[in-house]
A and B are shown apart, each in its own frame.
Chain A
Amino acid sequence: MDPSTFAAWEGASAVFTFGPGSAGMWLFLLGAIGVGLGVLGRMIIQENQTFRSLDPDLVKEGGLRGANI
């Protein structure tokens, strides 16, 4: 997979890696979407886990100190 789609700058138009419509372009486009969605999904899982396993001492300490409420 050659990321360069042109041999000379003269007359070149789209100069981005892999070039429009190429397999490389689709691979990285879908990869970027996947990474964004994957991290978002991980964020949701991490939040769920954290909310389920709150440290009781932390809850107590926060409550006792008023935690600025």
Chain B
Amino acid sequence: MEEQLSQLQSTVELLSAIEMEMYYWWCTAIMVLIHAGFLAYEMGASRVKNSLTAGVKNILALAYLIPAFYFVGWWIYNAFPGGFTITEGASAAAPWSSSMGPNLSDKGTGIFWAAFTLFGATTASILSGALIERIRLSAYVILACVLGAGVWILGGAWGWHPDGWMLTELGYHDIGAAGVVHTVAGFFALGVLINLGARVGKYGPNGEIHDIRPHNLPMALIGLMLIIVGFFGFLGGCIIYNVGGDWTTIYGNPSNLSAFGFNTLMGFAGGVIGAYAISREPFWMMSGALAGIISAAAGLDVYYPPVAFLVAFVGGCIAPIGGRLLEKAGIDDAVGAVSVHGFAGVWSLIASGIFLHGYPNVGDLPDVTFMGQVIGAAVMMALGFVPGYGISLAMKSMGILRVPEEVETLGLDAVEVPSVAYPESSIPARANQ
């Protein structure tokens, strides 16, 4: 009898471990839809002459980000939860470790690495849209790797890790990665945009703003909806499936997918309605959906759903307003990425500070507080902005950041991509010879 019970227990543990692998496998697969979405979104948002380059940029970013995250990203996450000092045992996450490849006694590392890699790729895609139609392909690939395999995951180690200093010192709570993914990526993009400059024709000689319209708005909208689908994989990957135990957040507090179900959908709805109330533009409505989910993300595990809805509503309002303010300030963010991800991410942390103030963390960890969340937001903003600005400034000074003006006028597809987006149309977009 005892032997049977022991066997049964082993079988249950094995099945649970396999289920854990399957869960994150499918979260990762669904997250790939984020990149399908960004691909359609950015190609649609570009003018015809730049549409293929926008697509190639997205495809290459994902391809480069994956090995870059393998080489350094996973190690950074495991090495720096304490700040800038390397944690003991981090070498287990280095690419020469026995866990960083097929290993029959390790069911966790590969599947978590895969999910985190897709989180990193999301940051690269957030950056991508803001820079379309004038950045060099090579410059973008470099910046995408720096952000997706370096900068954001350092933020992840600090604020999205069971031992991260922001949790242990501030009680930081950011369950849906509003800060560590969206704020960092949004403010990294802002830093790059300042050095990259506006597209030719965006501003007139007296500073008047010209609207540069997407060549295919319906495709952009479908892309945005695909990103929303992918978010379910992204947010699903934010909860911890504990083998032999109940769901927890990455901070160790109990949670479940029901909480995520309520508040992800309410976030979507609030964001769309908020953006509609402010702009009535379909582009901003779908962007508002993203902003809404991001706004609710930090407190996804505990918000009362109408709270999530109203937080998201405000986030949906912030997106178009923030986009217009940036435009007036001379920042040409082609898809509103800074506003949708950066500003909504900050709002998410502030809102969670308001509504989660006093919530306990597990064990001896400090409670969630308003000040802790605000400081956390400031850390994430700085962590994104400073390297984004600094590295792009260095690239600008070397002349490798932006395409020459005549290339921009001609269209990037003609010089970056040996193919034609719409060969039967009369619009010139010749292949590179």
Contacts and interface: CB of A to CB of B under 8 A. Distances in A.
B136 interface: yes
A50 interface: yes
Contact of A51 (B106, B404, B427): B404
A65 B410 CA distance: 10
A62 B427 CA distance: 9
Interface residues of chain A: helix, strand, loop or mixed (majority): helix
Contact of A67 (B104, B428, B432): B428
Interface in A21-61: 21, 25-26, 29, 32-33, 36, 40, 43-44, 47, 50-51, 54-55, 58-59, 61
Given A16-B103, A54-B415, A62-B414, A40 B142 contact: yes
B93 interface: no
Contacts of A7: none
Contacts, number: 100
Interface residues of chain B: helix, strand, loop or mixed (majority): loop
B138 A51 contact: no
A14 B97 CA distance: 10
A68 B201 CA distance: 11
A26 B410 CA distance: 45
B67 interface: yes
Contacts of A63: 409-410
Interface string B34-71: 00000000000001110000000000000010011001
B64 A62 contact: no
Interface residues of A, number: 32
A54 B106 CA distance: 53
27 contacts: A12-B104, A13-B105, A14-B98, A14-B101, A15-B102, A16-B103, A20-B96, A21-B96, A25-B96, A29-B95, A40-B138, A43-B137, A44-B138, A44-B400, A47-B137, A50-B416, A54-B407, A58-B410, A58-B414, A58-B430, A59-B409, A62-B414, A63-B410, A68-B49, A69-B47, A69-B200, A69-B409
Interface of B: 47-49, 64, 67-68, 71, 95-99, 101-106, 136-138, 141-142, 200-201, 215, 400, 403-404, 406-407, 409-411, 414-416, 426-428, 430, 432-433
Interface of A: 9, 12-16, 19-21, 25-26, 29, 32-33, 36, 40, 43-44, 47, 50-51, 54-55, 58-59, 61-63, 65, 67-69
